[in-house]
């Protein structure tokens, strides 16, 4: 009888030690939504690729477009605003707003019934990398966006 109690005690201690380690690991890794929200994101690189050909869109953007800020809120809303400089001083500061979902490394933004789906390639406290595909003239085009947290 004493053997059974000893065995059960050892098993209980053993299983608790694994559970405690598992919880600690999860607490140390922030979730993607927490990393996405609470700051603005500024585009630092924007490219398009069709097959082997690649094009640097960012280098052709006006400085007033390069400083635009994307902001995602905890409540599932997002906005894109003109940032510090506007290309047209008469335009609204926020030029796109809607809702978003982030699930399993997939970010979906929806504005006025139109949705865009992005794959989250990387997300840290300071860097966000997204990719999306669209058919342009019947050819699949991959767009890669890199943002810096502000």
pTM for this model (two decimals): 0.77
Partners of 53 in beta bridges: 50
| Contact (CB, 8 A) for 147 and 44 | yes
> Does 12 have pLDDT greater than 50?
no
Interval 25-75: pLDDT, tens: 444 456 999 999 989 999 999 999 998 999 999 999 999 999 999 999 999
Assign 18 a pLDDT band (cuts: 50, 70, 90).
Answer: very low
Domain segments of the chain: what residues?
Answer: 1-29, 31-149
Give me the percent of the chain exceeding a pLDDT of 90.
75
Higher pLDDT, 1 or 114: 114
Residues near 43 by Cβ (< 8 Å), separated by ≥ 6? Answer: 58, 61, 66, 68, 70, 145, 146, 147
**Is 31-149 a CATH 2.40.128.540 domain?**
yes
């Amino acid at each position: 009888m004493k053997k059974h109690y000893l065995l059960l005690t050892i098993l209980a201690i053993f299983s608790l030690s694994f559970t405690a380690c598992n919880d600690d690991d999860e607490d140390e890794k922030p979730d993607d939504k927490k990393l996405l929200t609470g700051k603005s994101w500024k585009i630092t690189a924007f490219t398009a690729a069709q097959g082997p050909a690649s094009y640097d869109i960012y280098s052709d953007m006006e400085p007033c477009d390069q400083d635009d800020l994307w902001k995602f809120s905890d409540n599932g809303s997002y906005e894109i605003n003109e940032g510090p400089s506007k290309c047209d001083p008469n335009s609204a500061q926020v030029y796109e707003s809607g809702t978003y979902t982030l699930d399993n490394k997939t970010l979906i933004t929806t504005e006025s019934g139109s949705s865009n789906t992005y794959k989250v390639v990387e997300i840290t406290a300071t860097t966000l990398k997204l990719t999306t595909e669209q058919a342009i003239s019947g050819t699949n085009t991959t767009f890669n966006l890199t943002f810096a947290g502000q």
